[in-house]
A = this chain, B = another copy of it.
Amino acid sequence: MRGRPTTYDSDAVVLKAQEVFWEKGYSATSLQDLQTATQMGSGSLYNTFRGGKKELFSKALQQRREAFLAFKQEMKQHPAPIELIKDFFRSLAEADEHTHMKGCIVANTVTALAFVDNDLEAEAVGILKDVERMFTDTIREAQRSGTITNPADAAVLGRYLITCWNGLNVTRRMHPNKEKMKELIGIQLSILA
């Protein structure tokens, strides 16, 4: 018995929810907001995501995690992975104002939910740590190959890079401006040498 088939594409629904969560954050997003964004009634919504708002947010976070894993895959077949990372940072400056104002949903979650929802906060921290690990591994390899001359511990430099990312996601809201962001990122990356 198959029963009535779903008319909603779960991935697309999570993506719509992700957009709302990204802008307003977990606490300020109401189920009404989510129903409007996804065009789902509460019946379908709770039937699809029995965990309610929290499960939907978790799925949205995991969707960002997938995006990161895709980037990591792309990097594996690149001749100079560290250049891809640098380019990723530099491309940040080219974003439009709205993108600047949104920041990073993962970092947003870490700052907003530490004393509100431990599970979701831990999930977000986990993603950022994965990114940090990728930075560290890439830097270690670039040091071996001589692409990076800074001899500091790769783990510290990786932590430095994720901190650059975290910082940019606040500062870009203070200065959603291409030129200012470009200069800033240039200084940040200059440390790798």
Interface residues of A (CB under 8 A from B): 23-25, 27-28, 101-103, 107-108, 110-112, 114-116, 121, 125, 128-129, 132, 152-153, 156-157, 159-160, 162-171, 173-175, 180, 183-184, 187-188, 190-191
Contact = CB atoms under 8 A, between A and B. Distances in A.
Given A110-B174, A111-B170, 16 more contacts: A28-B112, A110-B173, A111-B169, A111-B173, A114-B173, A129-B174, A152-B187, A156-B184, A159-B184, A160-B187, A163-B184, A163-B188, A166-B168, A166-B169, A166-B171, A191-B191
A114 B188 CA distance: 25
Q: How many chain copies?
A: 2
A25 B164 contact: no
21 contacts: A28-B116, A101-B115, A102-B115, A103-B111, A108-B112, A110-B170, A110-B173, A111-B170, A111-B173, A128-B174, A153-B183, A159-B171, A160-B184, A160-B187, A162-B174, A163-B170, A163-B184, A165-B167, A167-B167, A167-B168, A190-B191
